[in-house]
Amino acid sequence: MKIAVWKNPVTYPVFKGLSDTFGKNVFLATREQLTADLQNGKVQVALMPSDVALANPEEFDIIPAVAVSTWNNPYALLTVGAELGSKSIGIIHSVEGRLTALLAAIVLKEHYGTEAALNERISLPDEIASDALISIPLEESPEALKAEAITLDLGQEWYELSNYPFVWAVFVTRKGEATPGVITAIRDAMVFLDDHRADFASQWSKDEEVEDFVLNDLRLRLDDMAVASLTELCDHMFFHGVTPEIQPVVFASLPLNDGEVFTD
């Protein structure tokens, strides 16, 4: 079984953990590459940005029980130079930053009453991270020009807005290919990683901030709070024009021996 993992700092610990279990069958890929590889059958499972999976329920089955979510995310930041609460602000982002940009637009509108004009580029300058956001004030006013820069942790902003962790990525297969064997293998590997995260964190990085993030903010279970978060994100995706209608959050099912169905 080949597994593509979205190449993003928040999913990197999962990439390392799955690599320990599945070896070289696990690799990092951009959101467009892993989507194409899954659609073309080059991989059987993808840890995919949640917006891609939620927007395409006819193409993908979401594996239950495990996902990547956080209460905070030091890798998903927006620095705003103008005053929050202005009518509008521009945000430049690359394809890799599409989910973070959407989250920024949601937070700015719902928390601060600011409309975000998103400007997607194929790529950003080499000195800037591919998933970074660049804010551009659209209003020229003395107050905006004098305002001090404020950095928003978009994961924390989502939590304050919704009371849920933000789900950055979910495991998916092509439609109809989430077999019991695939679901069980991914679920068991992630549960093992979650249960032994302290050991893994100390192996992957000597950076105290990274280790603290893995130990305290990274969530690997797709529990009721994560499911509720995905449901709320679906609402916002519709209102922000990402989907033509509010999509339901549907998971693949794993039959149990006693005739019950495991879904979370």
pLDDT digits (tens, 9 = 90+) for 44-71: 999 999 999 999 999 999 999 999 999 9
What tokens were used for 104? Answer: 């920024």
d(CA 43, CA 26): 9
- If you average pLDDT over residues 181-186, what whole number do you get? 95
pLDDT of 145 strictly over 60: no
Percent with pLDDT over 90 in the chain = 69
Return the axis-axis angle of helices 197-204 and 208-216, rounded to nearest 10°.
160
Residue among 141, 156, 82, 158 at smallest CA distance from 114: 82
For 99: left if phi > 0, alpha if psi spans -120 to 50, otherwise beta; the answer is alpha
What class, spelled out in words, does domain 77-162 have in CATH?
alpha beta
Contacts of 122 (CB under 8 A, 6+ apart): 94, 95
Q: What CA–CA distance (Å, rounded) separates 114 from 121?
A: 22
Mean pLDDT of all residues in 110-115: 90
Bridge partner residues of 46 (DSSP): 4, 172
pLDDT exceeds cutoff 80 at 147: no
Q: Where in the chain is the domain with CATH 3.40.190.10?
A: 3-71+165-262
What is the C-alpha separation between 170 and 60, in angstroms, rounded?
11
Find the radius of gyration of the CA atoms of the chain. 19
pLDDT of 113 higher than 50? yes
- Taking 90 as the threshold, does the pLDDT of residue 81 lie above it? no
Per-residue pLDDT tens digits for 216-239? 899 999 999 999 999 999 999 999
Element (H, E) at 159: helix 154-162
Average pLDDT over the chain, rounded to an integer: 89
Residues 61, 173 contacting (CB under 8 angstroms): yes
Does domain 3-71+165-262 fall into CATH 3.40.190.10? yes
Report how far residue 112's alpha carbon sits from residue 95's, in angstroms, rounded to the nearest whole number. 25
The rounded distance, in Å, linking the Cα atoms of 130 and 140 is 28
